[in-house]
Amino acid sequence: MAERAIPLDPAGRSTLRDVLLPPDGYRLESALGTAYSLDAETLVTIPLFAAGLGAEDLVNSVGIAKVYELGARLTLLVQGDRISISRRWAASRPLLKLVGDAVVPCSAGDGSFHPKLLVLLFDAIDEPGKRLFRIVVATRNLTTDNSWDSVVVLDEAPSGVHIPGLADAIGGLAQFVNDPSHPAVAQCAQMSDALKGVRFQPLQGVADLQLLLFHGGSKHAQEVLKKIEGEELLVISPFVRQGFLDRLAAQAGIDKAHRWLVTRPVDVPDSAFLNYQVFKIADAAVPVREMAHPQEAQSGQGRLVGLHAKIYLASSRKAGTRFVVTSANATPSGWTRNVEVAVTGLAKAKALQVSALLAMAGSDQERTFRSLLEEITPMAVERETPEPEWVQRARSILAGAITVGLVQKGPPRTLDVTVNFQSDRSDWPAGVEVSVHPFGYEERDVRLSPGKTCMSARIEIEPGIELTPFVVLTLRHANDEPLEVVLAMPLHGDLDWSAEDARATLARLARPGLYRELLWYFGVRGHGGGPREEPKAEKTSPTKKTASGSSLPILEKVLLRVHGPNAKAEIATIDGLLAGLTDDAEDVRLAAMWQLVKRSLK
């Protein structure tokens, strides 16, 4: 696969799906991802994308099998207080159970855990021990925000180049995991060791490629900033602050005519208009996303719309264009307090000169980047109301918390929830009361009792309750709007509803369409997705019957697939599809057919 640096369409998730899809002959072995925020929609569809399926497959046996199989191979490091699961997902607790343990809360002291990074490891299906890495540096969170973003993808290539800073960046993520005993800490170290010496196919026309993780106290941020110098400057960032923009203007761009700023028309300082030509993404370039559920619309409030990419370009006619694709906004927080990631390089192509990128397209030319932009004035800038101080403080404390759920058999049967604070973040804001309930069970909301180092609650539950690894905290202060925060919560103790139980529940719900799904999977249409078409019935003589009835066409398709190049993967998929079937006559016949095929392979 050729490496690329491309925009993410705000109306689709196809790019995320593309970068997760394994190369031919490979399958996903594991994935380590980071983001500031995560929503349920993205969480449950990542395993589907890695299997070449789509979100619509969540209701099908194929999709359920892949979520069960690949969900256990995910590790997603996210800011602890930025997990978004809307109430409509209460009906999908089994799905959340299959992937919820992948979520690992992280934090960064007085800043935010803000990097957007994916490390994907694929293994060869028919060659044990052969593996390939893929690195994805993005500006998009693991959410369905309706925003423009960018992504850089690097695939392993034995004859490629070494990426300085990559292995150290992955290893450095471990220090921001809230629970130092979490397996994710060891996984970061293992991934880091495995990446040492790995080479990647370089971006075409790009030299001096480097990937760096930076945070408060790190020298890497200043290292990257010093490289942003030249005769022309383009800054693309949704959030901007005066001091930082002034610094960039002092080191790059001859004058205002050679500096461009693309941002949201929100909280843009007046000084920016003195030093930069200021633009926004045109409204027409951001399609409106309709919400299918009222709860989704409610949970979508505050999501980013429009621009979310963070790109810095500085051009010189002789030296070329230095680019930085990063998670860091053009703010002091982004470059001094937050945990961020950046990939930098030097491009010689004239087409990547800042002035070339900002050139207007002729009437007979295709649309350019400049065609997406609309110039703004100080009069168009809106002011955003910051969150109340108690909200900011409570979020900071909860971001670094370690939450644990313990199920006690009883009687009565209970779920004990403990929210442990970090030692430097235990000053809970005065007057803020907190209640808690297991996700999807609002009727079991109880008050959390505050302590010096933690908050705790005991919730009575029934046997077999569908507990997911998430709890919902509701914070109330005076007459302010209540704040709901979802926290990841590993479960321990007397657990009587497991991932296997959740999968069995989903399999039963998908069972009525299994025959139709198998027909599609084995050749009625290709394996790349698309609508499921009912197989056309063959015309037969009223007195002549086929030997095995409706099973025969399926059997033929099965034989074709399990003798193909991806035989092992196909066999594993079929085993997954048929797992959890009941013992009625139709199921027995289907299982017997598959066992016959498997015996023929030995």
Token pair listed for 210 = 């480097």
390: amino acid identity, one letter: W
Q: Is 314 helix (H, G, I), strand (E, B) or coil?
A: strand
- Residue-wise pLDDT for 378-432, tens only, equals 999 999 999 999 999 999 999 999 999 999 998 999 999 999 999 777 789 999 9
Q: Is 485 helix (H, G, I), strand (E, B) or coil?
A: strand
Q: Does one domain contain both 584 and 450?
A: no
The range of the structural domain enclosing residue 576 comes to 555-601
Q: Using alpha carbons, list the distances in angstroms from residue 306 to 145, 264, 329.
A: 9, 7, 15
Q: What is the CATH number of the domain that holds 166?
A: 3.30.870
Domain end position, chosen among 334, 350, 384: 384
Q: What is the CATH number of the domain that holds 421?
A: 2.60.40
In this predicted structure, what is the pLDDT of residue 128? 84
Within this chain, do residues 192 and 320 fall inside the same structural domain, yes or no?
no
Same domain, 148 and 184: yes
Asked if residue 102 and residue 152 are part of one domain, the reply reads: yes
CA 491, chain centre distance (Å): 23
Query: For the chain, what is the domain count?
Result: 4
Shortest CA distance to 396 belongs to which of 421, 432, 433? 421
How buried is residue 544: exposed, middle or buried, by Cβ count under 10 Å (0-12/13-18/19+)? exposed
Please calculate the CA angle 34-35-38 and round it to the nearest 5 degrees.
Answer: 120
Predicted pLDDT at 539:
40
pLDDT means over runs of 10, the chain (602 residues): 42 69 90 96 91 80 83 96 94 94 96 96 90 93 80 93 96 97 97 96 90 91 94 96 96 95 95 96 67 43 63 93 95 96 93 88 70 92 94 95 96 96 84 96 94 93 95 96 97 94 82 57 40 39 38 50 61 66 63 69 59
Q: Judge if 333 and 425 occupy the same domain.
A: no
- Whether residue 88 sits in one domain with residue 25: yes
**Domain boundary pick from 493, 509, 541:** 493
Is 84 inside a domain boundary? Answer: yes
Identify the pLDDT of residue 526.
36
Query: What pLDDT is recorded for position 579?
Result: 62
Is residue 119 located within the same domain as residue 50?
yes
Question: What SS3 string covers 85-141?
Answer: CCHHHHHHHHHHHHHHHHEEEECECCECECCCEEEEEEEECCCCCCEEEEEEEECCC
Name the packing angle between helices 585-601 and 567-578 (round to 10°): 160
H/E stretch holding 30 reads strand 26-35
The phi and psi torsions of 193 (rounded to 5 degrees) equal -60, -40
What does 227-255 look like in DSSP terms, one character per residue? Answer: T--BSEEEEE-SSB-HHHHHHHHHHB-SS
Residue 323 lies in a domain: yes
State whether 103 and 157 are in the same domain: yes
If asked whether residues 405 and 379 sit together in one domain, one would say no
The b/e string for 469-507 (b: 16+ C-beta within 10 A; e otherwise) is bbbbbbbebeeeeebebbbbbbbeeeeebebebbbbbbb
Tell me what pLDDT residue 543 has. Answer: 38
Calpha distance 376→419 (Å, rounded): 46
CA distance 178 to 202: 34
DSSP state of 200: E
Provide the pLDDT for residue 286: 62
Q: What is the pLDDT of residues 500-548, one digit of tens each?
A: 899 888 877 776 666 555 555 554 333 333 333 433 433 434 333 333 3
> What distance in Å separates the CA atoms of residue 414 and residue 226, rounded to the nearest whole number?
56
Do 284 and 427 sit in the same domain of this protein?
A: no
Residue 570 lies in a domain: yes
For residue 411, say if its preceding peptide bond is cis, omega within 30 degrees of 0: yes
334 shares its domain with 421 = no
> For residue 400, what are the CA distances in angstroms to 82, 179, 359?
11, 9, 46
Q: Are residues 224 and 335 in the same domain?
A: yes
Q: Count of CB atoms within 10 A of residue 293's CB? A: 13
Quote the pLDDT of residue 533: 41
CATH of the domain at 282: 3.30.870.10
Within 10 Å of residue 434's Cβ, how many Cβ atoms?
Answer: 20
